[in-house]
Amino acid sequence: MTKPLFIEKIANTVYKEFAGKPGKFLLIVGTIGWTASAISQTIAIILNDKIPTVQKKFLIPQELADAAVNIAAFFALTRSFTKFGEKFVKSGRLATPKIREFLAKYKLDANIGQKDFNILKTPQLNELHKDFDKGFSKAYYNLADGVSFISSTIGSVISCNIITPILRNKFASHRQKAYLAEEKEKRDTMIPAPIVLPAQNRFGIEDYKKQASLNAPKVNTSGVMKV
């Protein structure tokens, strides 16, 4: 049975991109997994009829913010650990006895630890390509692949179980406080302001005295009582 052409192209692309790079493969797959999880969780909140609309307005942005923190922390930390492990192997600081023997044979061991030294980019390896393939390639890539996988795994475990929860909790707490403050402000603006009457409509104690004096019975001061 002939394989579909597009499947073969995908397989070839994946092989070329990740062959000999297990750390990079783990990094990409993990990032895709975090992204897919965030998308599915957000869609579940949107489609859930039991969640009130008011709560959705808070939960959806919160979920998207959590996703951004998760993905960024996972990618950055895992990539850093992977690059660190790969650099140790390329620089010769981390090597098996067979690799050390090869470096000493071509007088490359003196360059170990020097800045920007890369075993794979030395002139000796370019000139002695056949010898490189026979005596060195398998030993080097076995070590490089193992270190790449282990370092990326360590980075992903630390990011998923330590760094990401701390960052997510801090961000969620900040977001919740901002949301509660915003809701309180909305409620405060809905309370009607007290009605203040104009000054001319107010009736104070002086007004009462004036009115009382006008309504009081008049007294005849001439001494003659009027009936």
Residue 139 belongs to domain spanning: 10-215
The pLDDT tens digits of the residues spanning 170-210 come to 777 777 777 677 767 777 776 555 555 455 555 455 655 56
Q: Is 176 inside a domain boundary?
A: yes
How many domains does the chain contain in total? 1
Mean pLDDT of 14-32: 80
Which of 123, 120, 151, 141 is CA-nearest to residue 24?
Answer: 151
User: Residue written as tokens 């930390």?
Assistant: 77
Residue 211 has pLDDT above 70, yes or no: no
Instruction: Name which residue leads in pLDDT, 62 or 194.
Output: 62
Is 164 or 219 the better-scoring residue by pLDDT?
164
Residue 226 lies in a domain: no
Task: Tell me the per-residue pLDDT of 97-153, one tens digit each, with 9 for 90 and over.
Answer: 888 888 887 777 777 877 788 887 776 665 555 555 566 777 888 888 889 889 999
Cα 12 to chain centroid, rounded: 32
Q: Is 227 a domain residue? A: no
Q: Which letter, b or e, does each residue of 103-137 get, where b requires 16 or more Cβ atoms within 10 Å of its Cβ?
A: beebebbeeeeeeebebeebeebeebeeebeebbe
Distance, in Å, from the CA atom of 227 to the CA atom of 216, rounded to the nearest integer, reads 17
**173 or 64: whose pLDDT is higher?**
64
- Spell out the residues 6+ positions from residue 102 whose beta carbon is closer than 8 angstroms to its own: 108, 135, 136, 139
Asked whether residue 103 is domain-assigned, the answer is yes
What is the residue-averaged pLDDT of the chain? Answer: 76
The per-residue pLDDT for 54 is 80
Q: Please give the single-letter amino acid code of residue 222.
A: S
